[in-house]
Structure 1
């Protein structure tokens, strides 16, 4: 049976594992430094498609965490990677922010409202009814519907906000077309991340704080799964799921001692 000591490459969620409300979680800075100092291959994963890796790296630095931009893997990057491997025209109507549009541009896509091959929806601060209407019409006209992540709500200082999954559900209701969703819990995101760092599932681990996204997707991708209790999942809640993580720790501070 694999243990944390057998792992050569690491994938980790960000919120609830490394940071919480822009504050570093104890042990996170030390873990990242240990990985860098020992030349471990690792990626920090997030379903948030708003920011580019450079933006995220700068935001994490403000929280006291040093994560080079090449060690960040977003649902926007995973979506662009997935679409780049599909056959056909590289054209898309995009609802999203710089993180998504930049990733698609770098993958060779042309943004257009005229007969695109894809409608790609990601997180944005301002969902436009006009853009959503356009998306509905393009999908009804034959464009393939792609969504970066399934999250239905996102956090804000005032409370939850409707997120990509909620808006995508509205488009699905209007078109009767289900999207292909790339981000967690789709193990596709993990496989693309492993390809990025040339990792093998047998020697790769996923660290997360959610059983229904991080752990189940890691399990389905064949990874060693490490659940930390520093985020949304309590030890008691683990028992309500029909599957288990490979290991449970209070926080990543416990992992630092093993590496």
Structure 2
């Protein structure tokens, strides 16, 4: 059994977790986007240097996000506008993970979608038909313009037997004007009306991690996950069998780490502190 972890407030000092992290080779990195690389569209200091270190290392990497509004092409453009250059092929969204899941479960199926372009495009590309007539699934994603009419239609279709899927359970999301209701909050409304809970594909479901790994033919035992939330990124990484790095530049504060019954492998203030780790761990491969 590992020695008791140190006080999370000392996360900037080397500890046993840091020493244990690279004992197995590191071939792949997964990293969250919001709170790790950017706040909304404001870059977090060190984010571009972190991405450059990953590219320089020659190791595989993917940027993950529960945001289902945008396509990978859209997100690449938004990140580039923030000075962070991530290839489109290295972006994996909850919309893509949901489309992959549905394709694996019921190829060539149909869905009624409450969401935006990122989700509808992913489902179209997976061979799904969008319909409001007897669909196989109701698929709920994030949108900034939830329609009462669309939600009502979703409720009635679920009552009529459509299976209920949601891209992620996040109850709220950030905006420049404050908190916004997100997929999880609307899913709760539909669940209350129908008595049917959705299957969530995105984080903290480890399925999203595994689908990202499959996308780049990577293995959990040689992969590190970087995230800013203990209750989504870190728990999903742990349950997928990954080593995990928590950065406290986003949702989880340093003083909150010790309140959880699980710990990340490494805790750092931001991705700026990970540039050296990427280079160091890459040299150990």
User: What is the distance in 1 between the residues matched to 2:230 and 2:68?
Assistant: 21
Larger gyration radius, structure 1 or structure 2: 2
User: What is the distance in 1 between the residues matched to 2:119 and 2:112?
Assistant: 11
1:216 match:
235
User: What is the distance in 2 between the residues matched to 1:201 and 1:176?
Assistant: 36
2:71 match:
52
1:154-199, Cα deviation, whole Å (9 max, x unpaired): 1122211111111111111111001000011010100100000111
1:163 match:
182
User: What is the distance in 2 between the residues matched to 1:10 and 1:177?
Assistant: 36
1:235 deviates by 1.8
The number of aligned residues is 259
1:32-84, Cα deviation, whole Å (9 max, x unpaired): 11222333211101100000000000000010000011000000000001000
Q: Does 1:23 align with 2:55?
A: no
Say whether the 8 Å CA contact 2:204–2:233 is kept in structure 1: yes
Distance 1:72 1:242, change over 3 A: same
Normalised to the residue count of structure 2, the TM-score between the two structures is: 0.88
Higher share in helix: 2
Q: Does 1:226 align with 2:242?
A: no
Deviating more after overlay: 94-103 vs 155-164: 155-164
1:113 deviates by 0.7
1:137 deviates by 0.8
Match of 2:30, SS state, is strand
1:119-155, Cα deviation, whole Å (9 max, x unpaired): 0000112111111111111111110000001111111
User: What is the distance in 1 between the residues matched to 2:51 and 2:30?
Assistant: 11
1:89 deviates by 5.3
User: What is the distance in 1 between the residues matched to 2:203 and 2:71?
Assistant: 18
5+ unaligned residues in a row in structure 2: which ranges?
A: 1-19, 280-285
Q: What is the root-mean-square deviation of aligned Cα atoms in Å?
A: 1.3
Say whether the 8 Å CA contact 1:89–1:117 is kept in structure 2: no
Out of 43, 48, 60, which is 2:62 matched to?
43
Match of 1:3, SS state, is helix
1:28 deviates by 1.1
Normalised to the residue count of structure 1, the TM-score between the two structures is: 0.97
Q: Does 1:127 align with 2:146?
A: yes
User: What is the distance in 1 between the residues matched to 2:50 and 2:107?
Assistant: 42
Distance 1:106 1:44, change over 3 A: same
User: What is the distance in 1 between the residues matched to 2:203 and 2:94?
Assistant: 8
Match of 1:85, SS state, is helix
1:256 match:
275
2:171 match:
152
Distance 1:65 1:5, change over 3 A: farther
What is the 5 A alignment of 1:95-134? 95-134=114-153
Distance 1:185 1:85, change over 3 A: same
5+ unaligned residues in a row in structure 1: which ranges?
A: none
User: What is the distance in 2 between the residues matched to 1:257 and 1:4?
Assistant: 16
Say whether the 8 Å CA contact 1:43–1:72 is kept in structure 2: yes
1:217 deviates by 0.6
